[in-house]
Structure 1
Amino acid sequence: MNPSQDPIHLPKSLLIALFQQLGLSVQASNIDKSDLNDRLTHLETYILLKKHHVGVNVQALDTNLLVHSVYPFILLPQDGNPMVARRSNHSFQYLSEDNQWIKLDNLPNSGHLFLVESLPAQSRSSTFSSHLAKLRSWYRPIFWLSLLSSLSGLAIPLFTMAVYDRVIGGQAPQILPGIALGAALALGIFVASRLLRAQALANVSNRFARDLSGITFNRLLSMPLSLLSRVGLSSHIARMRNAEKVRSLVAGPGGAGLIDLPFTLVALVAITLLSGYLVLVPLGMLLLFYLIMKALEKYTQAAAPTISGEYQNSLNELSTHLLPLKSAGENSAWYEQFMRRAREHCRQNFLYSKRAGLNAAVAHAMGLLTALTTVFSGIFLVLNQSITPGALIASVMLIWRITGPAQLAFASRQKFTLLKGAIDQFDRFMAVTTEFNELRLDSPDLNKAPTLSFKHVTLRYSGDSEPALSGVTLDIEAGETVAIIGPNGSGKTSLLLTAIGVIEPQAGFVTINGKNLKQFDPEIFRQWAAFSPTNSELLPGTLADNLRLAKPEASDDELKQALKDAGGASLLQALKQDIDANLFSRGTSMFSAVESSYISLARALLKGSPLLVMDEPIANRNPFARQAFIQTLNRLKGKSTILFTTHDQALIQQADKVVILDKGSVVYAGPLPAQDTVPTQDSTSTLEASQNE
């Protein structure tokens, strides 16, 4: 083992060795060729394992877990170096630097594990269930705390029975202090066990919700952009809230009632021992309670709101189209539609709440009726001297230990239905194919300008829309600067997004250096390629924070130079050369779309990538910014393959090749046509139109 290393990071070589020992040689090669840092944080390691579909669990070092381990794992001692280790019969081995397994004499006393649980392409059960199973260590303490709570909860009814039968009936007040002391002790145990169980439930539910949120967010980031944009923002937010539904149900009163429900058997056994056949009364009432609540549930669900989705869509439309609505000045029709939905939404919710209230009232009444029926039935047993008065009173008190959890469980049935729907949705979501798989593990040549080739590329954003790209065939040589022009809506942006693999076409394919784009690891490819979109979103923080998204290790001088190369010298002057200036004031960006475009372009240039893709750079046609950007293009010529869309004639003149698009088809692709020599009349008109827009 090596001398002491930074315990917060893992060597990349250690992760490569783990993948090789797991039999994932292609993935190991992919990591080896990537430009990842030589030392990875624990979080980066976890994300990388998940990206390659390796099921892994990070937890404290526990020998009891390791004795059942099947795959090699990463061992992170509290004091010492991280290592790849494995179980060998009843002992453990670690992997040496020369890839030899050596016996590990003693496991560390403390530390953490990256415990591998499954490999890619293995059949998996429900994803939700598999993650819930990871919390199995909590099942036993919650069970014993619930059992202890149920047993100690018998103290007060038994104390009451003893007072009636022995103290009052037997005229023995001298035993009262002892009985009271025992009851107080049992009550203390009851309260303590309840508090500890509530704490355990809160802990496990919060941890589970945190894990589900992280898994969902990570999965969203790995989904194809076309799928994410088609599903919509509200659906993504709903998926993130599924974890909160789980947490609120498990940690709330409904969850506690559900856990207490099996332990009502303790109360039933106690009633049987105290009152004999009187236990049939609560059993019969529970059956009646179930039948009535089942019928009421159908009655309540018949009034469930059906317009909630339309109402939520109205709110989403307002947030998305507020500016067009206000600028149009004609929003009365939208307002009338919104108010109609709001009124219907309120009416349906009122009716549903009224029936839900009836449901709760009947449940409470059934609890009271159970207690009264038990009292009246027990009176005859007392008169027949089959049971004592104290036993009857204790039995009635125990009735609440049965009806209470039953009421909570039935009251939470709707929540359980929603939870089941959330679980099914989560499992379906996790079953959707992501961009990452075992067939997409190639890495591009990071230092060489690539060739690009589009072969019969066809793209539709929906089945009933015109194709954004229609049979596009185009070759771009390494180091060429290519201007893509055409009218608005001709498919220019779609072609760029297809070139960097953000959107996959339905037909045809794109190759980079002769390799299909689908062979490349999408994350590594996009980290390598530089892309500047038309509309750039700024993140809260400083100018330096926003620029370093592209290159975290960039110096201040590099950031300033990239901004100048992007034509943003005026932006630097406005900020008095202070790149640490905050870009947001009171939560709102201080910059216009033009200034934001400089930052977006500077990000792309910061990467220094041999593939530079830009959508409408210098769209404002600022002459000073344009001149600075032209100098940047000239400096990069031959060193990088450059694709950009534009309507600016001065920028078009800098291109080695021009691609003219119209209605998703290539009208012309070749050198910039001379004013007196043009290929076709159609391409000339399209070129002129694109430059005049």
Structure 2
Amino acid sequence: MDDGGAAGRDDGDVTVEAVSVERPEVAERGVTDAVGYFRQASDLSVCLPALLTAVGWHGAPREMAEAMPHMVDNLDLSGLRNVMVNLGFRSSSYPTRLDQVDPRLLPCLFVPQGSGAKVIVSSEKGVLTAFDSDTLTVERIENPSSERGEALVFSSEDLDVKQREQKRFSHRLFGRFKGLLVFVFILSVISAVLALSPPLFVMGVFNSVLPTADLELEVLLIAGVLIAIMLDWTLRKLKAGILGHVAARTEYILGNSVFQRILGLPAQSIERVSVGEQVARIRDLEALRDFFLGPLSLLIYDLPAIVIYVLLLGIMNPTMLIVIVAAAALYTLLGAISYGPQRQSQARASRLTAERSKFLSETLSKLPTLRIAGASHKWLERFRDLSGRATYAEWRSRRIGERIASVAGLIGVFTAVGALTVTVLGAMSGAGSAGAVMATMMIIWRLTGPLHNGFMSIGTLVRVASSMRQIDNLMKLKVERDASTRQTIRPESYGSVTFSRVSFRYSMDSDPALLGVTFSVEPGQVVAIAGSNGSGKSTLLKLLVRTYSPQAGSIRIDNVDIRQLTPADLRAQISYMPQRCEIFYGTVAQNLRLVEPTASDEELEWAAQMAGLLDDILALPEGWSTRISDTRADQLPNGFRQRLSLARAYLRTAPIMLLDEPGNGLDDASDRAFMQAVQGLRGRSTVFIVSHRPSHMRLADVCIYLDRGGIRAMGPFEDIKKTIFSGIK
């Protein structure tokens, strides 16, 4: 039934019988139920309950359900460590033997190489107390074997330290790999020394082998240089592997941290920026990966080689230092001149590329509408103009970079020519030799290479600096649920709601969406909210669930201002059905459990039956296990999506239920099922229904009619229905 049609007519007296809303009796989940989240039991999933008990975790079942990996059949070691991280425990591992586990690190998880994992709880005089996943019992191991394995130690995260660390996230990110980076730096020093072997070999050949025709010395020199080259190759390969690992880990940690932070931001901080622009910004942060693998990292790790080369050249020919200082001055001058233009060109190219991505994202999401409206040609013209400006900006940025590279290369050539001239003059005056000339040229080319790479990576340096600033600014933003905030144990909520002079506007230059709204609702009442489009109906519900915060006034639940509650505490008391049913990739059961992760199969069936959806689900090819996603959501009937959203609302046990336009897309049978469910919920939950349908408003104990953000009428439907109908018309 369409809202527009229902708004202007009276449905007459409709008798609706209440249905039973008694939930199936299901035992509350505890730590021991952690194994049930996986289809296939493994030794690690079996050990998880014992491990959580041993480390002293006392969280709620919902927290444990939310910490579990998504859509996996069994739990591996990586998944277990991620679960523990989600529950607030850091992990560290070290190889050991069962009989050598350090008692100071207990409790720990011991993963042997040839048998099932064990949770070692304590050790007393060499006797271990452990849970064995093979026997599913707690045993006393009096004579531990020498079996080798990996011990994982879990410790609770220090929330204060974590909060301080996030203020300097980029520094902490690099600090995680300080040991590896120092090791790479040491490898670079050794590699730089070994890289001198070819120039020294050439100098030795020209100075010692050729004049004396000493073949034995030639063989020794060849053997030595080959050994040095092989060692240098081995060290470079090891260094590349370490840097690749650091880059991959950085990208992984950065991506997860940024995504987690974005999920915690208030809705007002996110909705001001389009989805396409947000995705483009996240992709820009990947420039940090280039810091470890691009030319900039090579320059940083070649600094020891530069110092060694300069010292060697100074020893061979002190006059060479003048050429090197002059070259360094020219490179520095080039960098100072080129930094500003390149930064501006890259910023412009990045901005226009983000606008193009935003336009593409908007176009693809609304492509059917564009085709129906016949606006494809106009949209193509807009894209051609936007794409042209973005491409031109990228071309200009690349052109500036190429010019810088060409000038840097020219400086390198002049440096080599100057070095050759100085060395030859020294050799002619008797201050050097032919071997020194050859060695000097080889070292000079090795010296100018890193400097040239440095100017080639100026653009990367600009992007890395910009990305680091963005990351630090993002991590400093206030999130809805702070790291130091714990979900509190509060008294039972009854569901009374009070609005006191509440006012709200979406932006400073817009009209108020709500203005001075004041009303009170008793626990268990059914409240219908009506009004024309833009009158503030949905906004009222979003303020109650604290998607937004009012600029004036207060909202109280059970006489407690919702600003005193954490978002988690508040939303645990509210079941909210938005206007649009969002579908996520996963099974039908997983989409329902999105709001109640601990719900049993019986509770899912009960909620689906309440929404009139159970028969439709069972008729699907794989029933509850049928996979659906937002990309295929348009293939699902609108009524199915709407009833799925209603089932989510019913599934969550809450004293307050908010239903935004629940009648959209429902046929007569589904609408009757909905009204029966509301009758059954009366007295159990405080129900707010945004609807234009007279049949829905008749169910309500109180009707609130909004007009331009204010309450125009409030009371029983029969008393104010003339005002409602005249206003909606």
Letter in 2 for 1:76: C
* Residue 85 (structure 2) pairs with residue 46 (structure 1): yes
Could you tell me how far apart the structure 2 residues matched to 1:38 and 1:332 are? 49
For the 8 Å contact 1:216–1:239, the answer to whether it is kept is no
What TM-score comes out, normalization by structure 2 length? 0.79
Q: Which residue of 1 aligns with 2:152?
A: 111
Shift of 1:393: 0.8
> In the TM superposition, what are the counterparts of 1:662-681 in structure 2 within 5 Å?
662-672=707-717, 674=718, 677-678=719-720
For the 8 Å contact 1:363–1:407, the answer to whether it is kept is yes
Could you tell me how far apart the structure 2 residues matched to 1:39 and 1:572 are? 24
Q: Which residue of 1 aligns with 2:108?
A: 76
The range that moved more, 406-415 or 8-17, is 8-17
Letter in 2 for 1:110: A
Shift of 1:293: 4.2
Letter in 1 for 2:700: A
Q: Which residue of 2 aligns with 1:231?
A: 273
For the 8 Å contact 1:57–1:117, the answer to whether it is kept is no
Q: Which residue of 1 aligns with 2:635?
A: 590
The range that moved more, 334-343 or 146-155, is 334-343
Q: Which residue of 2 aligns with 1:614?
A: 659
Q: Which residue of 1 aligns with 2:331?
A: 289
* Residue 723 (structure 2) pairs with residue 685 (structure 1): yes
For the 8 Å contact 1:456–1:473, the answer to whether it is kept is yes
Q: What SS does the corresponding residue of 1:643 show, helix, strand or coil?
A: strand
Shift of 1:398: 0.8
The range that moved more, 300-309 or 5-14, is 5-14
Q: Which residue of 2 aligns with 1:575?
A: 620
Q: What SS does the corresponding residue of 1:282 show, helix, strand or coil?
A: helix
Q: Which residue of 2 aligns with 1:174?
A: 216
The superposition leaves residues 369-405 of structure 1 with CA deviations (integer Å, 9 ceiling, x where unpaired) of 2112211221111111211111111111011221111
Could you tell me how far apart the structure 2 residues matched to 1:498 and 1:249 are? 43
The range that moved more, 555-564 or 220-229, is 555-564
Q: Which residue of 1 aligns with 2:383?
A: 338
Q: What SS does the corresponding residue of 1:119 show, helix, strand or coil?
A: helix
Could you tell me how far apart the structure 2 residues matched to 1:559 and 1:689 are? 40
Alignment partner for residue 392 of structure 1, among 437, 446, 469? 437
Q: What SS does the corresponding residue of 1:169 show, helix, strand or coil?
A: helix
Could you tell me how far apart the structure 1 residues matched to 2:196 and 2:500 are? 77
Q: Which residue of 1 aligns with 2:404?
A: 359
Could you tell me how far apart the structure 1 residues matched to 2:218 and 2:248 are? 45
> In the TM superposition, what are the counterparts of 1:600-611 in structure 2 within 5 Å?
600-611=645-656
Could you tell me how far apart the structure 1 residues matched to 2:715 and 2:450 are? 77
Could you tell me how far apart the structure 2 residues matched to 1:475 and 1:15 are? 46
Could you tell me how far apart the structure 2 residues matched to 1:427 and 1:439 are? 19
The structure-2 alpha-carbon separation of the partners of 1:146 and 1:369, relative to structure 1 and needing over 3 Å to count, comes to same
Alignment partner for residue 8 of structure 1, among 27, 41, 48? 48
Shift of 1:353: 2.4
For the 8 Å contact 1:296–1:359, the answer to whether it is kept is yes
Shift of 1:624: 0.4
Q: Which residue of 1 aligns with 2:611?
A: 566
Shift of 1:317: 3.9
Shift of 1:190: 0.6
For the 8 Å contact 2:662–2:691, the answer to whether it is kept is yes
Q: Which residue of 2 aligns with 1:95?
A: none
The superposition leaves residues 7-40 of structure 1 with CA deviations (integer Å, 9 ceiling, x where unpaired) of 43577777778xxxxxxxxxxxxx7688545997
For the 8 Å contact 1:458–1:506, the answer to whether it is kept is yes
Could you tell me how far apart the structure 1 residues matched to 2:510 and 2:105 are? 50
Q: Which residue of 1 aligns with 2:448?
A: 403
Q: Which residue of 1 aligns with 2:301?
A: 259
Structure 1 unmatched ranges of 5 or more: 18-30, 50-55, 64-71, 85-107
Could you tell me how far apart the structure 1 residues matched to 2:507 and 2:702 are? 31
Letter in 2 for 1:671: P
Shift of 1:462: 1.1
> In the TM superposition, what are the counterparts of 1:111-260 in structure 2 within 5 Å?
111-114=152-155, 116=157, 119=160, 126-260=168-302
Shift of 1:334: 4.5
Could you tell me how far apart the structure 1 residues matched to 2:268 and 2:403 are? 46
The structure-2 alpha-carbon separation of the partners of 1:131 and 1:270, relative to structure 1 and needing over 3 Å to count, comes to same
Alignment partner for residue 459 of structure 2, among 405, 408, 414? 414
Q: What SS does the corresponding residue of 2:712 show, helix, strand or coil?
A: strand
Structure 2 unmatched ranges of 5 or more: 1-31, 33-42, 68-79, 97-103, 112-117, 123-148
Q: What SS does the corresponding residue of 1:434 show, helix, strand or coil?
A: coil
Q: What SS does the corresponding residue of 2:699 show, helix, strand or coil?
A: coil
Shift of 1:302: 6.0
The range that moved more, 114-123 or 325-334, is 114-123
The superposition leaves residues 108-162 of structure 1 with CA deviations (integer Å, 9 ceiling, x where unpaired) of 9832343645617975652211232222221321121111111111111111111
Could you tell me how far apart the structure 1 residues matched to 2:527 and 2:105 are? 49
Shift of 1:172: 1.4
Q: Which residue of 2 aligns with 1:87?
A: none
Q: Which residue of 2 aligns with 1:23?
A: none
Q: Which residue of 2 aligns with 1:97?
A: none
Asked which structure has the greater RCO (Cα within 8 Å, sep 6+), the reply is 2
The structure-2 alpha-carbon separation of the partners of 1:548 and 1:585, relative to structure 1 and needing over 3 Å to count, comes to closer
The root-mean-square deviation of aligned C-alpha atoms, in Å, is 3.4
The structure-2 alpha-carbon separation of the partners of 1:233 and 1:299, relative to structure 1 and needing over 3 Å to count, comes to closer
For the 8 Å contact 1:547–1:603, the answer to whether it is kept is yes
> In the TM superposition, what are the counterparts of 1:614-633 in structure 2 within 5 Å?
614-633=659-678
Q: What SS does the corresponding residue of 1:176 show, helix, strand or coil?
A: helix
The structure-2 alpha-carbon separation of the partners of 1:287 and 1:533, relative to structure 1 and needing over 3 Å to count, comes to same
The range that moved more, 575-584 or 533-542, is 575-584
Shift of 1:602: 0.8
The range that moved more, 507-516 or 305-314, is 305-314
* Residue 101 (structure 2) pairs with residue 60 (structure 1): no
Could you tell me how far apart the structure 2 residues matched to 1:623 and 1:316 are? 37
The structure-2 alpha-carbon separation of the partners of 1:442 and 1:161, relative to structure 1 and needing over 3 Å to count, comes to closer
Q: Which residue of 2 aligns with 1:540?
A: 585
What TM-score comes out, normalization by structure 1 length? 0.83
* Residue 479 (structure 2) pairs with residue 434 (structure 1): yes
The superposition leaves residues 176-217 of structure 1 with CA deviations (integer Å, 9 ceiling, x where unpaired) of 111111101000111111111111111112212211222111
* Residue 508 (structure 2) pairs with residue 469 (structure 1): no
Could you tell me how far apart the structure 2 residues matched to 1:15 and 1:613 are? 39
The structure-2 alpha-carbon separation of the partners of 1:119 and 1:516, relative to structure 1 and needing over 3 Å to count, comes to same
Could you tell me how far apart the structure 2 residues matched to 1:472 and 1:73 are? 58
The structure-2 alpha-carbon separation of the partners of 1:545 and 1:118, relative to structure 1 and needing over 3 Å to count, comes to closer
Letter in 1 for 2:423: G
For the 8 Å contact 2:105–2:153, the answer to whether it is kept is no
Could you tell me how far apart the structure 2 residues matched to 1:473 and 1:642 are? 18
Alignment partner for residue 373 of structure 1, among 400, 412, 418? 418
Q: Which residue of 2 aligns with 1:658?
A: 703
Could you tell me how far apart the structure 2 residues matched to 1:11 and 1:212 are? 28
Q: Which residue of 2 aligns with 1:271?
A: 313
The structure-2 alpha-carbon separation of the partners of 1:480 and 1:74, relative to structure 1 and needing over 3 Å to count, comes to farther
For the 8 Å contact 1:485–1:660, the answer to whether it is kept is yes
Could you tell me how far apart the structure 2 residues matched to 1:517 and 1:78 are? 45
Q: Which residue of 1 aligns with 2:564?
A: 519
Could you tell me how far apart the structure 2 residues matched to 1:483 and 1:379 are? 95
Could you tell me how far apart the structure 2 residues matched to 1:230 and 1:432 are? 15
The superposition leaves residues 235-272 of structure 1 with CA deviations (integer Å, 9 ceiling, x where unpaired) of 43245335421112212233122221343101111222
For the 8 Å contact 1:152–1:190, the answer to whether it is kept is yes
Q: What SS does the corresponding residue of 1:482 show, helix, strand or coil?
A: strand
The range that moved more, 294-303 or 500-509, is 294-303
For the 8 Å contact 1:441–1:519, the answer to whether it is kept is no
* Residue 494 (structure 2) pairs with residue 449 (structure 1): yes
